[in-house]
Amino acid sequence: MDKESKGVKGFRKTLLMEPKPILGMPLAEAREETLTYVGKRIPMVDASEKVRGKAIYFTDLELTGMLHAKILRSPFPHARILNINADKAVSLPGVKAVLLPQDTPAEKYGPQVADRPILASEKVRFVGEEVAAVAAIDEETALEAINLIQVEYAPLPSVFDIDEALQEGSPLVHEDKKGNIAASSRILRGDMERGWKESEIVLEEDFKTQSVHCLYLESQICVAEADPSGGLILYLPIQTPFSTRNMIARILGIPLHKIKIIQICMGGAFGGKLDTSLHFIAALLAQKAGRPVRLANTKEEDITSTFLRVPTHIRIKIGAKKDGTFIAKQVRILADNGAYCSLAPKIVCTNMATRSDCLYRYQHTLAESTLVYTNKVPTSAFRGYGNPQITFAQESLIDMLAHQLGIDPVELRLKNGIQTGDTTIHGWKIGSCGLGECLREGAKRIGWEEKQNKKDTKKLRGVGVAAMIHVSGNRGALEWDGSEAMIRMHEDGTAILFSGESELGQGKNTVLAQIAADAMGLSLTHIQVSRVDTDSCPFVLGPYSSKTTLLAGNAVRKAGEQIRNQILEVASKMLLLPEETLQVKDNHIYIQGEKNPKLSVKEVMRYAHTHEGRKTLFAHGVFEAGKVRIGPQNDYYGDISAAYPFAAHFAEVEVDPQSGEVTILRYVAAHDVGKAINPMAVEGQIEGGVVQGLGYTLMEEVVFNEGKIQNPDLQDYYIPTAMDIPPIESILVESKDPAGPYGAKGIGEPTLIPVAPAIANAIFHAIGIRLTEIPVTAEKLYLAMKKRRTLSNLNRGP
């Protein structure tokens, strides 16, 4: 067993769990001893340029003749636009283009539901909505110009609260969306009546989750260039470059070969860059001005006009036998969509509605989900795609159930947890499952048994656990799920790898380069990962659903293996030896079993380029997840993802009895990642996701008043700093999924998903108070403790 404990002064420790043999599971990878890069702690391939300050981000981009653009945004949550007068802005010296609603295509857009205009036409629906835009020689002039645009509004009654929005007679955000319902679903499995009848204990509770922002450090930006032949080049930090290009093509009526999206270094994304409202505006301004246009949000504009995590009210009910066997689960989800649909319809009606059901062996489930329009900024994806919200509700209620039944919360989860080989209640086929190992190893690490049973009487300390299941790829919306990659050999024996999956900082370039290197037999220094551009790279869906390692990794591995075979084919001709007797290793050709190489790959390339039948070595790898498209057409039933990652998180907390402040003393995150292609990068994902989750659980909330965000900057919207983090310990469980490259599954989103319930459950263990709303602020805990003291004093009597 390869155990690793590399913590510096106890700050971080990682345990790498070799998989225990699971009966009936095929060996995903038999040649592990031949791997040079896969499975190794390798620094990011782009780290050197980043530490030297030489990496060029979107915000650093400068093009010749580039103009600077600004957007005029709505000050009203809901108002009719009566008139716009931009004469003064147009005539301001330095202004090169003014874009008004009438200059934009009438067709509405949206990744799932087309309900959003490029600029607000007729009426505005949230504070911060785009009304007009200006491109000028510098940002100051653009700002001056938008202030000169006069807009006459007639304010309309607004609706901010989801319960209110659903009431009859409430103002309609969109006239054609009756009852303000943006989307809904009802998913029933089994027979609920029977489920409740068979249950010996039934618990029910309401949970609420808040609005938070992804707060990637580099705010949203688009640099657009229109070429005279009618084409467009967009420098756009988006997680879906190809589908975005296709949407732009459709709405602006430009063929695909005339639009190119280019990506350079991106300053974080976390799901918040799956969608944007800047691309059309920047493109239209660039067309109008005939010069490149840079349209960049300020941090305040980012928080007030881009996407927030979907806030929810969740009513959840679980029924079980006295021995702890889960029987039935019912949820009613009400979720806030904001004024326009981005990705919330699928987040809520497909994912939130079903995902957490697949963690356990429920026999009957019912999910009723309603996504509601309000006059607030649109909501969308943020690390977890609806799973953190529903997991908070489910894992909190299971904790309550465990305490009611007198069963250890870890044991209760082990008893009901899904296992390898299971088909879940929604038709997910579990190819690998390390849930049990995550729970057992995590519990061991945090000292669960001792701390769960023996409580410190002097200090308010407690431990909590929460588990999760997630996807690696998602066929919740599209006909196809998979990825493609291409590799081309250069004449000197080096290679370039093209994958259209965006590098957000998550390490895609590094992980794919590691896989390519081992697949080809080249060293990492011989591989360049191309920047993403939609002309050179093959079509992909983009990095979301924690799928890049699995889907793109498989595509790259296939392409790499093809290249290796092509190299061997040429080498075989050169050496007059059969291909089967040769191998490629360390950029050289060896005869199997021999120590010294016969040729270098460079020599092979020279031969390939200069001899009869000359050709460039090139390979195209395609990986199709081969799963089922999930939606209302099949009652949301089927195997949605290629593989399913699991996790169990454990928190140890201390609550200050005076202030209600929560200190996380220790945090253990055990993740089944299938196979860690790069354990250091996996730890980085875990640590980053856990800390984002701490922010979500304890600190962060976008606060609205009458639809206007009250804390749109980092001064008032707190995210965790280095002072706020606990010691975090990662445990990597390698269950070797049959579908993953070398067995690997996704890790990006799972790291945040169980954080809130793990902490809330630890707080309950510490002080016996269960908070059902996040964020769990010191103020809320203080008030809850005070209320309890008052009650107990009253009960005690005079």
Partner 1 sequence: MKVEFTLNGKLLSLEVKPSRTLIQVLRQDLGLKGAKEGCGKGECGACTVILNGKAVLSCLIPIPKVQGCSIITIEGLETAEGLHPLQKAFVEHGAIQCGFCTPGMILSAKACLDENPSPSMEEIRETISGNLCRCTGYVKIIEAIQSVAGEKIEEPHG
What is the contact surface with partner 1 in residues (CB under 8 A)?
Answer: 8-9, 11-12, 41, 43-44, 46-48, 50-57, 59-60, 214-219, 265-268, 270, 298-299, 504-507, 680-681, 683-684, 686-692, 713-715, 719-723, 725, 728
Of 672 and 683, which CB lies nearer to partner 1 in the complex structure? 683
- Where helices occur in 636-678 by DSSP H, the ranges are none
Between CA 748 and CA 343 the distance in angstroms is: 18
Burial zone of 456 (CB within 10 Å; 0-12 exposed, 13-18 middle, 19+ buried): exposed
Of 395 and 687, which CB lies nearer to partner 1 in the complex structure? 687
- Cα torsion angle, 242, 283, 506, 648, sign: negative
- What is the closest distance, in whole angstroms, from the C-beta atom of residue 639 to partner 1 in the complex? 31
Of 27 and 51, which CB lies nearer to partner 1 in the complex structure? 51
Between CA 219 and CA 162 the distance in angstroms is: 28
Of 117 and 688, which CB lies nearer to partner 1 in the complex structure? 688
Name all contacts of 242-248 with Cβ < 8 Å and 24+ positions apart.
242/500, 242/534, 242/539, 242/540, 242/541, 242/542, 243/111, 243/541, 243/542, 244/276, 244/279, 245/534, 247/109, 247/111, 248/279, 248/280, 248/283
Of 44 and 248, which CB lies nearer to partner 1 in the complex structure? 44
- What is the closest distance, in whole angstroms, from the C-beta atom of residue 209 to partner 1 in the complex? 19
Q: Give φ, ψ of 120 to 5 degrees.
A: -55, 120
Q: Cis before residue 775, ω within 30 degrees of 0?
A: yes
Of 56 and 783, which CB lies nearer to partner 1 in the complex structure? 56
Of 521 and 688, which CB lies nearer to partner 1 in the complex structure? 688
Q: Give φ, ψ of 624 to 5 degrees.
A: -110, 130
- 3-state SS of 695-756 is HHHHHCCCCEECCEECCCCCCCCCCCCHHHCCCEEEEEECCCCCCCHHHCCCCCCCCCCCHH
What contacts 158, CB < 8 A, 6 or more positions away? 77, 78, 171, 375, 706, 707
Q: Determine the residue type at 637.
A: Y
Q: Is 262 helix (H, G, I), strand (E, B) or coil?
A: strand
- What is the closest distance, in whole angstroms, from the C-beta atom of residue 522 to partner 1 in the complex? 21
Of 201 and 680, which CB lies nearer to partner 1 in the complex structure? 680
Of 689 and 743, which CB lies nearer to partner 1 in the complex structure? 689
Of 683 and 749, which CB lies nearer to partner 1 in the complex structure? 683
- Reference 213, options 770, 713, 765; nearest CA is 713
Between CA 741 and CA 433 the distance in angstroms is: 16
Q: Which residue has the tokens 């093209």?
A: 498
Of 437 and 729, which CB lies nearer to partner 1 in the complex structure? 729
What contacts 569, CB < 8 A, 6 or more positions away? 579
Of 52 and 178, which CB lies nearer to partner 1 in the complex structure? 52
- What is the closest distance, in whole angstroms, from the C-beta atom of residue 47 to partner 1 in the complex? 4
Of 11 and 618, which CB lies nearer to partner 1 in the complex structure? 11
Of 214 and 469, which CB lies nearer to partner 1 in the complex structure? 214
Total H helices, total E strands in the chain: 20, 31
- What is the closest distance, in whole angstroms, from the C-beta atom of residue 41 to partner 1 in the complex? 7
Q: Where would I find the beta strands (DSSP E) of 490-629?
A: 495-499, 527-529, 582-585, 588-591, 599-600, 618-624
- What is the closest distance, in whole angstroms, from the C-beta atom of residue 725 to partner 1 in the complex? 5
Of 266 and 513, which CB lies nearer to partner 1 in the complex structure? 266
For residue 281, give the DSSP letter. Answer: H
- What is the closest distance, in whole angstroms, from the C-beta atom of residue 678 to partner 1 in the complex? 9
How many Å from the N-terminal Cα to the C-terminal Cα in the chain? 63
- What is the closest distance, in whole angstroms, from the C-beta atom of residue 684 to partner 1 in the complex? 5
DSSP 370-436: EEEE-SS--EE--SSTTHHHHHHHHHHHHHHHHHHHT--HHHHHHHHB--TT-B-TT--B-S---HH
Q: Would you report the helix, strand and coil content of the chain in percent, each value rounded to 5?
A: 30, 25, 45
Of 9 and 31, which CB lies nearer to partner 1 in the complex structure? 9
- What is the closest distance, in whole angstroms, from the C-beta atom of residue 179 to partner 1 in the complex? 37
Instruction: Provide the b/e sequence for 692-723 (b: ≥16 CB within 10 Å).
Output: bbbbbbbbbbbebeebbbebbeeeebebbeee
- What is the closest distance, in whole angstroms, from the C-beta atom of residue 298 to partner 1 in the complex? 7
List, in sequence order, every residue forming a beta bridge with 668; answer none if it has no partner: 650, 729
- Decide if 660 contacts 781 (C-beta within 8 A): yes
- Cα torsion angle, 788, 789, 790, 795, sign: positive
- What is the closest distance, in whole angstroms, from the C-beta atom of residue 51 to partner 1 in the complex? 4
- What is the closest distance, in whole angstroms, from the C-beta atom of residue 270 to partner 1 in the complex? 7
For residue 22, the surrounding DSSP H or E stretch is none
What contacts 152, CB < 8 A, 6 or more positions away? 81, 82, 83, 84
- What is the closest distance, in whole angstroms, from the C-beta atom of residue 267 to partner 1 in the complex? 3
- What is the closest distance, in whole angstroms, from the C-beta atom of residue 138 to partner 1 in the complex? 10
- Decide if 763 contacts 461 (C-beta within 8 A): no
Burial zone of 175 (CB within 10 Å; 0-12 exposed, 13-18 middle, 19+ buried): exposed
- What is the closest distance, in whole angstroms, from the C-beta atom of residue 178 to partner 1 in the complex? 39
- What is the closest distance, in whole angstroms, from the C-beta atom of residue 61 to partner 1 in the complex? 9
- What is the closest distance, in whole angstroms, from the C-beta atom of residue 255 to partner 1 in the complex? 33
Of 568 and 728, which CB lies nearer to partner 1 in the complex structure? 728
